[in-house]
Structure 1
Amino acid sequence: MNKKTDTKSAVILNRRHFLASGMVLAGAAMLKPAIAWADAASLTKEQQSFSQLAHFITGKPQLDEVVIQRAFDCLMAGDKDFLTKAHNAASAIKQAGLTSADDLNGHALLDNPEMAVTLQQINSAFYLGYTGTPISGRAKDNTKFVTYTDALMYPPTADATVIPSYSRGHTNYWVNPPASLKK
């Protein structure tokens, strides 16, 4: 008889734990938006400055903040002096009075090789979706993943190409040219 009582109380105890755990998880899920807002509000000055520089360099006013943070983290991990270089680039751009990335074409700022490389690294992180230099045939290199589907290299040709590994249609969908290329 004690054995049945112990088993029954163990089942009830487990149900109670299950229900209590569920309530805690539900409460945490409701707090997630508030936590995300608090995280966005607590961006450091460096992260905010990098975000502004990323918008300027890419020429895109609407970049995903998560992608910006990933790019920042990856670039920082790849170069211990990146923050200083990015700060110098942002200051030089502001001092030169440039208003868009197009203004950089042929500008004297790009005569500085370190600045040119820094700006290219930032742009590449968003357009290619990774930082560093991939080395073919090697398991390890200095590349860091930033984004895949949000890489800016895909939208300009979205009417004619697909993101690799994503199919737009049925088998052999590619046989017929896209509507944008039909005459």
Structure 2
Amino acid sequence: METSMTDKQIPAHTLSRRSLLRGSVTLGLAAMVGSLAPWQSVLAADDQDFITLSQFLVSRPVNPILAARYYRALSKRAPNFSGNVDALRQLIASQGFKHVDEYLAQPGADASLKATATSIISAWYLGIVGELADAELISYAEALMYSPTHGILAIPTYGGGPDSWGNKPTAKQDFTL
């Protein structure tokens, strides 16, 4: 009777390292793909309309993920925002405007639609939505105000580097006038 390991039959129900590794990789890939799915659900028809309108208003392609974030932030601050986006998009299509300047130059434009257009343009260029007290930062590095000097100047930062703090004040300052 031979007792070597090569002659023994391995039962089918045992877990080999190879099958464990294969299962772990499959599970990891499934989790990673599943985490991307929420962005697809965020990019609904309203968001696609907002992307199209944003591209018209800023005259350049826009990031769809940032567009979804801007849309959500702007919608929170203006209850009629989605209706104004639809109305603005329809107006631009019906008038056949080719550039945002044509829209802005039209006489007698609806003030609420113009305010909506201005808030969208401002959000994309500044990277924030809202005013001082309730401002929401959406994107600092991808704000369009930095695009004219992209590749020439570094985006400004006021930190001294990772984990840096300013110097501790040396003495109390007197603020009496």
Q: TM-score range by the shorter chain?
A: 0.5 to 0.7
- Quick one: distance in 2 between partners of 1:104 and 1:79? 21
Uncovered stretches (5+) of structure 1, i.e. residues with no partner: 1-18, 135-140, 168-183
Residue 162 in structure 1 maps to residue 154 in structure 2:
yes
Q: Aligned residue for 1:9?
A: none
Q: Is the 8 A contact 2:74 2:81 kept in 1?
A: yes
Q: Which runs of 4+ in 1 moved over 4 A?
A: 21-25
Q: Choose between structure 1 and 2: higher helix proportion.
A: 1
Is 1:153–2:134 an aligned residue pair? no
Residue equivalent to 1:101: 100
Question: Would the aligned equivalents of 2:43 and 2:64 in 1 still touch at CA under 8 Å?
Answer: no
Q: Is the 8 A contact 2:127 2:139 kept in 1?
A: yes
| Mapping of residues 49-128 of structure 1, within 5 Å | 49-60=49-60, 62-108=61-107, 111-128=109-126
TM-score under structure 2 length normalisation: 0.66
Q: CA deviation at 1:161?
A: 3.9
Change (3 A) 1:42 1:113: closer
- Residue correspondences, number: 140
1:26 aligned partner: 28
What amino acid sits opposite 1:90 in the alignment? R
The answer on whether the counterparts of 2:127 and 2:143 sit within 8 Å (CA) in structure 1 is yes
Distance (Å, rounded) in 1 between the aligned partners of 2:142 and 2:43: 22
> Which consecutive unaligned segments of at least 5 residues does structure 2 have?
1-20, 160-177
When Rg is computed on C-alpha atoms for both structures, the one with the higher figure is 2
Structure 1 position 43, deviation (Å): 3.0
* Residues in 1 aligned to 2:31 and 2:139: alpha-carbon distance in whole angstroms: 25
Partner residue of 2:43? 43
RMSD between superposed Cα atoms in Å: 3.1
Shift of residue 63, structure 1, vs aligned partner: 1.3
